[in-house]
Amino acid sequence: MDNEVKAVFGSWVQAIGTILSAIGSTPIKELSTDLLDSLNLIGNVMQGTGNALIADTIETETLDKLGNQIQAVGNSTVITGILIDFTNDVKQILNIDGNWLQALGGGVSLADALGGERSTSALYSIYGNLLQAIGNSLQSISGIKELQGKEGQELNVVGSWIQAVGSVISAIGQTKYP
């Protein structure tokens, strides 16, 4: 698979993953908690895989490559909190830290896009990464609120969907303007 095709594929794997995670984070009465948790897990695995694929297509060391690598580490951190039998507080801290890492990675990729050439592709990357960083930041803040015993679920849902919109924008940009 050549790098252009791999980058488009990775972008869509990431986008589908963020959508699945957003669905899993949204309380839907018709879906069981187990199913929602599974969607969140599968979504994070797909996000991390997509980010790793995208990073692998960038041959030189760039901020965008580093940003995608950091996002993949963030997804791995969230996955660790889901899969390993830790206390609820430790699981929540891993989720918070994983989302902060994803936000950081999105910000690093955003910096790369802001410093690059001005093109339609760069605009998709700027808006997509900005929304993903905002969404992940909101998810982290919601986790902190929940760790403090406050309500944070609505903020988490909003953050999840903002991140999903950002990843779809990035994937569209990668598809139309590789």
Q: Answer whether 64's CB lies under 8 Å from 122's CB.
A: no
Query: How much of the chain exceeds pLDDT 90, in percent?
Result: 94
CA-wise closest residue to 104 among 76, 124, 132: 132
The structure tokens listed for 136 are 């992940």
Query: How much of the chain exceeds pLDDT 70, in percent?
Result: 99
pLDDT of residue 50: 98
Q: What is the pLDDT of residues 77-127, one digit of tens each?
A: 999 999 999 999 999 999 999 999 999 999 999 999 999 888 999 999 999
Average pLDDT over residues 50-72: 97
Q: Answer whether 14's CB lies under 8 Å from 167's CB.
A: yes
Domain count, the chain: 1
Average pLDDT over residues 129-148: 98
Q: Please, what is the average pLDDT of the chain?
A: 96
Does 41 score more than 70 pLDDT? yes
pTM of the model: 0.95
Q: Please tell me the distance from the alpha carbon of residue 3 to that of residue 10, in angstroms, as a whole number.
A: 10
pLDDT of residue 178: 65
Does 163 score more than 90 pLDDT? yes
